[in-house]
């Protein structure tokens, strides 16, 4: 449950927007310059006032947007109660808008309930690109940038060994074990070994509760979002449920933000704090204390379920492709010298070309967040002959782009790691990076996610043969949760020891 909720924490902003933010945009439409007067952007025909509300999918956005591509093409414009929205199916267009024109396309949606009443705008994924945003991104580059992540290998290797142990004799869905191992990496890095030992479970629980709350808030229609003036109603006003919900949400958001940080501060005063992002960087003049605290507070919810889902998808692929699993196993045995302990080294994992090919191919076919996180334009823009209004929210259908036959060829839907080892591979888009989003908002945890994911996955393949559970039949289709973080919902496997 916790993990389901965590999935939604940050990334269900997507699902939320149609309800919670509609009114914000309603209000903003007054400022929006009249757009499609010259030539309308392609998309379903709009009705007066409600726009495309009736055309818009109520569930499974990723699948629905993918189907839209065959109906409407690569750039689809819809309006929901006046809120302009673009669904981009083309990698070129996504890169043009979100990366090359990042100065225009890096804002996030704003919700009265989330940002103002629950006071969630401290959190990086929801923040606007301002000075605090720049500062937090700078901090994250310093603490989990490409160079820095290599210094945590000892921790990744230790947790990989712990994960292997926890799955000994396991049959069924390994998601809980994987997410717990990833969560421990993040808590230890963020707040240290001591906080993880003493409060790791509470921290995970608190994040789960907070996620529950955020999901609830993001998936309801709040009149206060439609009519912001309502926020001034006294808290005792009958029917002002939003005030009570916001109060609870605010309390949880504050706990996430301050509690573990405070524990490290106390330990530092007592001289008992061990090494962590907070203890190492707190008094660095280069970093503002508040921004360090806030950047670190988001890591657990942003990084845990996403990374665990990437590993789960790989495990799932191995069960379905025993030949590829055997090839990878042999490669890993050679790499580790066939040592009896079957311990993987993160540096070996990074060096393995075949492991990299398997990782990329799984990431390509099953990006954990196939619609990324929506960006919003902060000024009017144009695309060819079309004008796009200021305040347009854009969903990049990364999942479609990664299976687009025009890019990947006729076998785009096949799991074929070898494509990454062929000469032509240099011409392919980087499937190891694309699932992390675009431009100024690209996932700052991507280097940590890749290093952790590969190390965990390699440890599993080296120690276990991943098979169908005895007596069960491999389901024909993999089903996926209907969440922004898309992970298999009916997955079961057995881990049979290799030695
Ligand atoms: C396989 C694992 C992961 C995937 C697929 C993933 C994917 C994403 C995506 C698609 C975004 C939105 C980018 C955009 O707006 O264009 C994002 C944002 C973010 N991710 Fe990740 N992520 C992963 C792991 C992590 C990890 C391990 C951390 C940190 C420990 C992390 C921290 C963040 C943060 C803080 C943001 C918000 C950035 C912003 O809004 O500026 N992620 N991630």
Q: What phi, psi does 361 have (nearest 5°)?
A: -70, -35
* Ligand 1 atom at minimum distance from 375 CA: 15
Pocket test for ligand 1, best of 129, 149, 203, 443 (most atoms within 8 A of CB): 443
91-97 long-range contacts (CB < 8 A, ≥24 apart) are: 91/401, 91/404, 91/407, 91/429, 91/434, 93/383, 94/396, 94/398, 94/401, 94/438, 95/438, 96/383, 97/381, 97/383, 97/394
Contact 198, 188 (CB under 8 A): no
Q: Which of 432, 412, 139 is nearest to 281 (CA)?
A: 139
Which residue owns the Cα nearest ligand 1 atom 13?
A: 437
**Measured between alpha carbons, how far is 65 from 54 in angstroms, rounded to an integer?**
15
What was the pLDDT predicted at 333?
93
Residues with CB under 6 A from ligand 1: 124-125, 186, 298-299, 302-303, 306-307, 310, 368-369, 372-373, 375, 435-438, 441-445, 448-449, 453
Ligand 1: distance of its center to the CA of 50 in Å? 33
* Six token digits for residue 225: 């979002």
Which residue, by CA, sits nearest to atom 16 of ligand 1?
Answer: 437
Give the pLDDT confidence score for residue 455 in this predicted structure: 97
> Is 493 within any annotated ligand binding site?
no
- Give the residue, out of 276, 436, 438, with the most ligand 1 atoms within 8 A of its beta carbon, to mutate for a pocket test: 436
Highest CATH level, class, for 2-497: mainly alpha
Rounded distance between C-alpha atoms, residue 442 and residue 106, angstroms: 10
Q: What distance in Å separates the CA atoms of residue 492 and residue 174, rounded to the nearest whole number? A: 8
Q: By alpha-carbon position, which residue is closest to atom 27 of ligand 1?
A: 303
Which pLDDT belongs to residue 164? 97
Q: Is residue 312 within 8 Å of residue 331, measured between CB atoms? A: no
Determine the atom of ligand 1 nearest the C-alpha atom of 448: 27
Q: Whose CA is nearest to atom 2 of ligand 1?
A: 307
* Distance (Å) from CA 38 to ligand 1 centroid: 37
Looking from the CA of residue 441, the nearest atom of ligand 1 is 41
How close is the Cα of 45 to the center of ligand 1, in Å? 34
Using the mean position of ligand 1's atoms as its centre, give its distance from the Cα of residue 355 in Å: 22
For 91, 368, 397, 426, the CA distances from 435, given in Å and listed in that order, are 12, 7, 10, 18
Residue with CA nearest ligand 1 atom 14: 437
pLDDT score at 38:
60
**Centre of ligand 1 from the C-alpha of residue 124, in Å:** 10
Q: Cα-flanking dihedrals φ and ψ of residue 170, to 5°?
A: -85, 135
Cα of 444 to ligand 1 centre, how many Å? Answer: 6
pLDDT at position 10 is: 36
Q: What is the model's pLDDT at position 273?
A: 95
Q: Is 495 helix (H, G, I), strand (E, B) or coil?
A: strand
- C-alpha 40 – ligand 1 centre gap (Å): 33
Structure tokens at 138: 């700078």
β partners of residue 107: 376
Nearest to 108 by CA among 373, 435, 390, 437: 373
Residue pLDDT tens, the chain, 499 long: 333 333 343 333 344 443 433 333 333 333 334 444 567 789 999 999 999 999 999 889 999 999 999 999 999 999 988 889 999 999 999 999 999 999 999 999 988 999 999 998 899 999 999 999 999 999 999 999 999 999 999 999 999 999 999 999 999 999 999 999 999 999 999 999 999 999 999 999 998 888 788 878 877 778 898 789 999 999 998 888 999 999 999 999 999 999 999 999 999 999 999 999 999 999 999 899 999 999 999 999 999 999 999 999 999 999 999 999 999 999 999 988 877 777 889 999 999 999 999 999 999 999 999 999 999 999 999 999 999 999 999 999 999 999 999 999 999 999 999 999 999 999 999 999 999 999 999 999 999 999 999 999 999 999 999 999 999 999 999 999 988 899 999 899 999 999 8
Name the closest-CA residue to atom 20, ligand 1: 443
Q: 60: alpha, beta or left, given left = phi > 0 and alpha = psi -120 to 50?
A: left
Q: Residue 367 has what pLDDT?
A: 98
Domain boundaries, the chain: 2-497
Residue among 305, 317, 429 nearest 369 (CA): 305
**What is the per-residue pLDDT for 9?**
35
Residue 107 near residue 129, CB atoms below 8 Å: yes
Q: For every residue of 50-113, which 3-state class applies, written as one string?
A: CECCCCCCCCCHHHHHHHHHHHHCCEEEEEECCEEEEEECCHHHHHHHHHHCCCCCCECCCCHH
User: Which atom of ligand 1 is nearest to 450's Cα?
Assistant: 1
Q: How far apart are CA 159 and CA 153, in angstroms?
A: 10
Residue located nearest, by CA, to atom 24 of ligand 1: 303
Q: What is the pLDDT of residue 318?
A: 98
- Distance from C-alpha of 346 to C-alpha of 151, rounded to nearest angstrom: 10
Measured distance CA(489)–CA(479) in Å, rounded: 6
- C-alpha–C-alpha distance, residues 88 and 41, integer Å: 12
Residue 165 Cα to ligand 1 middle (Å): 28
Tell me the best of 179, 257, 296, 306 to mutate to test the pocket of ligand 1, counting ligand atoms within 8 Å of each CB and taking the most: 306
> If you measure from the C-alpha of residue 475 to the centroid of ligand 1, how many angstroms do you get, rounded to a whole number?
31
- The kind and range of the H/E element at 497 are strand 493-497
């Amino acid at each position: 449950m916790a993990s389901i909720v965590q999935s939604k924490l940050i990334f269900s902003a997507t699902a939320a927007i149609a309800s919670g933010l509609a009114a914000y945009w309603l209000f903003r439409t007054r400022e929006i310059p009249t757009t499609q007067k010259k030539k309308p952007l392609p998309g379903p025909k709009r009705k007066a006032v409600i726009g495309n509300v009736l055309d818009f999918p109520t569930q499974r956005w990723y699948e629905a947007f993918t189907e839209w591509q065959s109906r409407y093409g690569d750039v689809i414009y819809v309006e929901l109660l006046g809120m302009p929205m673009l669904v981009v199916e083309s990698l070129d267009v996504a890169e043009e808008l979100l990366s090359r024109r990042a100065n225009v396309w890096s804002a996030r949606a704003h919700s009265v309930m989330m940002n103002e009443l629950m006071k969630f705008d401290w959190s990086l994924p929801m923040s606007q690109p301002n000075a605090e945003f720049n500062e937090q991104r700078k901090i994250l580059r310093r603490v989990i940038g490409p160079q820095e992540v290599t210094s945590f290998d000892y921790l990744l290797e230790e947790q990989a060994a712990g994960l292997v142990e926890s799955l000994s004799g396991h049959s069924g869905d390994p998601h809980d074990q994987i997410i717990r191992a990833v969560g421990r990496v993040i808590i230890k890095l963020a707040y240290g070994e001591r906080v993880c030992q003493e409060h790791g479970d509470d921290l995970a629980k608190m994040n789960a509760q907070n996620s529950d709350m955020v999901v609830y808030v993001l998936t309801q229609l709040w009149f206060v979002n439609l009519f912001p003036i309502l926020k001034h109603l006294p808290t005792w006003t009958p029917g002002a449920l939003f005030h009570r919900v916001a109060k609870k949400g605010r309390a949880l958001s504050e706990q996430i933000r301050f509690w573990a940080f405070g524990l490290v501060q106390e330990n530092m005063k007592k001289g008992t704090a061990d090494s962590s992002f907070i203890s190492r960087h707190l008094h660095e003049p280069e970093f503002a204390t508040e921004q360090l605290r806030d950047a670190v507070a988001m890591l657990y919810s942003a990084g845990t379920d996403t990374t665990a889902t990437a590993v789960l998808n790989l495990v799932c692929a191995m069960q379905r492709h025993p030949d590829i699993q055997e090839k990878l196993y042999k490669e890993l045995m050679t790499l580790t010298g066939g040592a009896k302990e079957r311990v993987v080294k993160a540096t070996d994992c990074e060096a393995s070309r075949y492991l990299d090919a398997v990782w990329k191919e799984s990431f390509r076919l099953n990006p954990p967040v196939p619609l990324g996180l929506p960006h919003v334009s902060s000024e009017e823009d144009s695309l060819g002959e079309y004008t796009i209004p200021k305040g347009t929210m854009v969903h990049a259908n990364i999942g479609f782009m990664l299976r687009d036959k025009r890019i990947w060829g006729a076998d785009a839907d096949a799991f074929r790691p070898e494509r990454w080892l062929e000469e032509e591979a240099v011409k392919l888009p980087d499937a190891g990076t694309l699932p992390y989003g675009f431009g100024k908002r690209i996932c700052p945890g991507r280097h940590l996610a890749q290093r952790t994911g590969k190390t965990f996955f390699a440890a599993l393949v080296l120690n276990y043969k991943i098979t169908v559970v005895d007596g069960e039949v491999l389901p024909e289709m993999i089903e996926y949760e209907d969440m922004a973080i898309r992970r298999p919902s009916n997955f079961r496997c057995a881990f049979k020891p290799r030695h």
